[in-house]
Amino acid sequence: MSPEMSKWRFYMDRRLDTRRYLKSRAFLLVLIVALICTFVITTICAINNIVVEQNQIQQKSVTPVFDLVNRELLKPLYLAESFANSFALESEIYAEHVDEDALLKKLEKMEKRFGVTVFLALEKQRRQYMSDGRAFDLNEGEVYWYFEALQEDKAIMADLGQAEDIHLFFDVKIVGEGESFLGYVGVGEPIATFLDKFDEYKSQYGYDFLFVDDRNEIVLTSFADLIIIDQFAPSLSDLGAFSSRDIDLRNLDSETVVMRNEEYMISEIAIQEFDWRLLLLTPTEMRKATVTKTLLLNAFMTFALVASILAASYALLLQYKFSLESSSLTDSLTGLSNRSFLERQYIRLRKKQAMLCVVVCDLDRFKSINDTYGHNVGDEVLKHTANILKKQFREGDVVGRWGGEEFVILVPSKSADLGIKIAERTRQELASAQIYADGQRVQLTASFGVCFGSAEKPMAKLVGMADVALYQAKDQGRNRVIAKDFYSTVSMDNFRASA
């Protein structure tokens, strides 16, 4: 082939490749545009269809939703009525003198069983008793709900209480013989319990709730910025959407209002038990245009925001992980290592195939100290014990709080003698400890169980054998040290080391 022919073929091949390249780029561009247009059109159609379908579902689901909400509200009410009419609290209701400790324990058991806050307010004693252990006088000007209830004289009331953790309480009037007024029994649940249910339906159907009492005060709502943060509920008329004179606040069924730049249609149902109304706010057609216009922008902004949050969260989580690992390995009360740290250190000793003594220390009659002097003194005893343990054991030993009044010490050693001697010395130091409460010395003793063995064995086995020795020390009169050798069937049951 001549050079001119070769040049011509090369030129034609380049033109063909260029055309193919341009055609492929054009096809790819058309494909991308088509995909984008298809995505946009299908997205807009999907949004419109979803909104229409959602509104239809909302209208069809009104009755089931009302039934569910009524059940959620009436459940605690039924419990309160049951308590008021049962024999569970009868002895306290009719008693001249109430055993407050017994009553508070009974209310606490009721709370644990039914999962709700329970209270009893007695007119004769003018005292209110709560299942969280509180009891206080019903003084006018301090306990508002009680005196409002006396004025309204209703058999059933619903009110808000506990400013630090807002609860919705359902109060049932207790009436004795001859219609004599005896007090109220009530059941309460946190506002958050109801909000969780509202969120489920809001996620599924897209509508919001407003619960309004007979004074047009908003008691419950699914709007986050209207959640009640104290015991005083906002008024419905305070909302701009309901402030118009053209709106009859006593009859809002089928009314339309605009809230937060969105139009809603209201469906209303009466809750006769409390003289409340439930206002169901369903978004209208305006929502379709709003969603269509903001979808792509919101998607992009959400993606960027989520990506930024995820990146920042990842960095914060790494930093938090390091700080959490440090704090999670220390007992907050005594400052000693906790159980998790002891288990980690045992694994380290196992890798070294070390021999060690596992020493278990348990304070004698610690419950009696708590019962006699109170838990604050008990905490001081635990701290004092921890300080003695840290001083008596060596730097290489691992001292930790196993749980409650029980401590575990890992003592690397070639024989049981060292662990026994240190345990005995610590026992003597604890027995001579000078701890005082209310001018009286707190008698403190401890029993010790020592097990000698290899870290190659599971920690649970060595601790278990040390526990057996500890139980023997308890059975033999407490305040003593008993040791066992993991490799020997002969125990040192009657051994008591000298310091």
Instruction: Provide DSSP, 213-248.
Output: -TTSBEEEES-GGG---SS-PPBGGGSGGG--TTS-
Q: Is the pLDDT of residue 348 over 70?
A: yes
- Could you tell me which residues come within 8 angstroms of residue 254 by beta carbon, excluding any fewer than 6 positions away? 265, 266, 267
- CA 266/CA 255 separation, integer angstroms: 5
Separation between Cα atoms, residue 266 and residue 277, nearest integer Å: 12
Quote the pLDDT of residue 423. Answer: 94
pLDDT at 134 > cutoff 60: yes
pLDDT surpasses 50 at 8: no
Long-range contacts of residues 462-470, Cβ cutoff 8 Å, at least 24 apart:
462/356, 462/358, 462/486, 463/358, 463/360, 463/408, 465/358, 466/358, 466/359, 466/360, 466/408, 467/360, 469/360, 469/493, 470/360, 470/362
Residue with the bigger pLDDT between 397 and 64: it is 397
Return the structure tokens found at 177: 């013989």
Which residues make beta-bridge pairs with 183? Answer: 122, 174
Decide: 445 and 479 in contact? Cβ < 8 Å.
yes
Of 187-196, 298-307, 335-344, the range with the highest mean pLDDT is: 335-344
Per DSSP bridges, beta strands 481-485 and 446-454 are parallel
What's 452's DSSP letter? E
Evaluate whether 247 touches 186 at the Cβ level (below 8 Å). Answer: no
State the average pLDDT for the chain. Answer: 77
Predicted local confidence at residue 460, as pLDDT = 92
| The predicted structure's pLDDT at residue 446 | 95
Q: What strands lie across the sheet with 156-161, from one edge to the other?
A: 135-137, 127-130, 117-122, 181-190, 167-175, 156-161
**What pLDDT is recorded for position 167?**
78
Rounded Cα–Cα distance for residues 138 and 121 (Å): 8
What is the distance in angstroms between the CA of the first residue and the CA of the last residue of the chain? 110
At 266, the pLDDT band (50, 70, 90 cuts) reads: confident
Identity of the highest mean pLDDT range in 27-31, 197-201, 313-317, 489-493: 197-201
Structural tokens at position 354: 């070390």
pLDDT (average), residues 34-49:
65
The span from the CA of 17 to the CA of 10, in Å, is: 11
Mean pLDDT of 356-370: 94
Task: Quick: pLDDT tens for 214-241.
Answer: 888 887 777 766 666 555 667 777 777 7
- Structure tokens that stand for 352 in this block: 């070294």
What is residue 431's predicted lDDT score, i.e. its pLDDT?
Answer: 93
Do 236 and 226 touch, CB atoms closer than 8 A? no
- Which pLDDT score, from 0 to 100, does residue 381 have? 94
User: From the centroid of its chain, how far is CA 353?
Assistant: 42
User: Which range, of 135-149, 163-177, 370-384, averages the lowest pLDDT?
Assistant: 163-177
Segment 160-166 mean pLDDT: 69
Which of 2-16, 234-248, 317-331, 435-449 bottoms out in mean pLDDT, i.e. has the lowest? 2-16
SS3 189: strand
Task: Work out the burial of residue 196: count CB atoms within 10 Å of its CB; fewer than 13 is exposed, 13-18 middle, 19 or more buried.
Answer: exposed
Q: Are 358 and 463 in contact (CB under 8 A)?
A: yes
What pLDDT score was predicted for residue 497?
39
pLDDT > 90? residue 26: no
pLDDT of residue 324: 54
Per-residue pLDDT averaged across 154-169, rounded?
75
Mean pLDDT over residues 44-65, rounded? 58
* Confidence band for 210, pLDDT divided at 50, 70 and 90: confident
Q: How far is CA 223 from CA 167, 202, 280, 407, in A?
A: 17, 10, 12, 50
Q: Say whether pLDDT at 342 is over 50.
A: yes
DSSP 41-86: HHHHHHHHHHHHHHHHHHHHTHHHHHHHHHHHHHHHHHHHHHHHHS
Confidence of residue 285 (pLDDT cuts 50, 70, 90): low
| b/e 315-340 (16+ beta carbons within 10 angstroms → b) | eeeeeeeeeeeeeebbbeebebbbee
What is residue 337's DSSP assignment?
B
For residue 195, pLDDT over 90 is answered with: no
CB burial of residue 174 (10 Å; 0-12, 13-18, 19+):
buried
Please tell me the total number of residues recorded for the chain in this structure: 499
In the prediction, which pLDDT does 310 show? Answer: 42
Quick one: pLDDT band at residue 406, thresholds 50, 70, 90? very high
Q: Give the DSSP per-residue string, 280-331.
A: EEEE-THHHHHHHHHHHHHHHHHHHHHHHHHHHHHHHHHHHHHHHHHHTTB-
- Distance (Å, whole) CA 461 – CA 466: 9
- For 231-242, letters b (16+ CB in 10 Å) and e give eebeebeeeebb
Predicted pLDDT of residue 296: 55
pTM metric for this prediction: 0.41
Phi, psi of 209 (to 5 degrees): -125, 145
Tell me the average pLDDT across 287-302.
54
Alpha-carbon distance 319 to 437, whole Å? 43
Alpha-carbon distance of 64 to 267, in angstroms, equals 13
Is the confidence at residue 187, as pLDDT, over 70?
yes
Residue 317 has pLDDT above 50, yes or no: no
**What average pLDDT does this structure show over 189-208?**
76
pLDDT at 365: 92
- The beta-strand segments (E) located in 97-255 are 117-122, 127-130, 135-137, 156-161, 167-175, 181-190, 208-212, 218-221
Provide the total of helices (H) and of strands (E) in the chain, helices listed first: 12, 19
Please report, rounded to a whole number, the percentage of residues in the chain having pLDDT higher than 90.
26
Q: pLDDT tens digits, residue range 69-128? A: 666 777 777 888 888 777 778 888 888 888 999 999 999 999 999 888 999 999 889 999
More confident residue, 259 or 391: 391
What residues contact 89, with CB distance under 8 A and at least 6 apart?
Answer: 83, 103, 106, 120, 185
Predicted confidence (pLDDT) at residue 466 exceeds the cutoff of 80 = yes
